[in-house]
Amino acid sequence: MARRRHVPWWLVAVAVTVLVLVTGALPADDARELAERTLPILVFVAALTVVAEMCAGAGLFDAAAGLASRVAGGRRWALWGLVVVLATVSTAVLSLDTTAVLLTPVVIALARHTRTPPLPFALAVLALANTASLVLPVSNLTNLLADHLLRADGVGYLGLMWAPALAAILVTVVVLAVRDRRSLGGSYDPGPPHPVRDRLLLVVCAVAVGVLAVAFVVGAPTAPTAIVVAVVLLGVTLARHQKLPVAARDLVPWRTLLVVLGLFVVVATAHAQGLGALLAQVAGTGNGPGALLQVAATGALAANAMNNLPAYLALEPAAGTDPMRLAALLIGTGVGPLITPWGSLATVLWWQRCRTVMLDVPAGTIVRQGLLLAPLTVVAATLALVATS
């Protein structure tokens, strides 16, 4: 029997985008506004992906994991704690998708090398790839979308979101530490450090990531900064005569970016056809504690139902320009999509990487962890928002 060929999602996204533009289902003015908001963000994602791939090719993630193994001194609980720190920093500076794609296989290999059950380590990466994604605007694509509106209102992202971000991370770490305490006992032999292929390139990548972190914290333009660092790292890698970590045609995730663009277009078209009025009723009004919890819960439910990116765009008009309501929506769509395997792109990518390295994670495992974490982290982050704003 001939094998069926499935139409790739990126091609479906292109077809849908062309269809709604040609038929006028998405008015020209709405399409122009959408392009002005989203295309710079997609360029930033492409540049940051190049940065992450160059760092992975230079062995930066492997070196960080090896350093964690030695610093932990053979104690599994300490190693797990350092993996938590590594996943949090990676998500904050390089985005949740980078953590899911590049850190997941490294952490699983680290666990196996130290004869530690890999599942708790992998699940910690999955959780923090989502719940640590409120730290900086660059940590999550939804943050970048909201940051545009917050800046227009004269509100700084860090000043508004630091407490919710901290609350979401702390609740995640405490819950996972209690749940996995039995698997994290005992000791291991760290073993000798892995040899570094090109130490100069490794140092350049480490410095570049540090520069990116500082630049993003002080509010440097995200896309231009990421493009400059990506070009520098690509140039240094080629100058050092090192092989690219992936094929040149796959260095920029153009297929994923086309799918994301298609999602944006579909949601904008649905709004143009009247979806906004319905969602505004569900999300409610006001910015008191109960109203903010309602916005966050609506965002979380929508994200788990259809994915966090279209959920944010669909609910953004219902949140309006009120910074508190936008922040609550970010909490729901950033921290909340932990329950379904498709709730965020990071979860989808994480699941694929687990299968690639032969770690079988049933969908039920993802759902159970999400049901445990999502309500607690969303409520804690929203209450932290209320308490500090």
Judged by DSSP in three states, 289 sits in helix
Q: Is the pLDDT of residue 2 over 50?
A: no
Residue with the bigger pLDDT between 313 and 229: it is 229
- In the 8-state DSSP scheme, what is residue 253? -
Cβ neighbours of 215 (radius 10 Å): 19
How large is the average pLDDT for residues 359-387? Answer: 96
For the ranges 188-192, 215-219, 294-298, the one whose mean pLDDT is highest: 294-298
pLDDT of 125 over the 50 cut? yes
Distance between CA 136 and CA 127 in Å, rounded? 17
Does the pLDDT of residue 229 top 90, yes or no?
Answer: yes
Write out the E strands in the chain: none
Tokens found for residue 193:
């450090």
Does residue 1 surpass a pLDDT of 50? no
Question: 187: which strand partners?
Answer: 75
Mean pLDDT of 5-20: 86
pLDDT of residue 41: 83
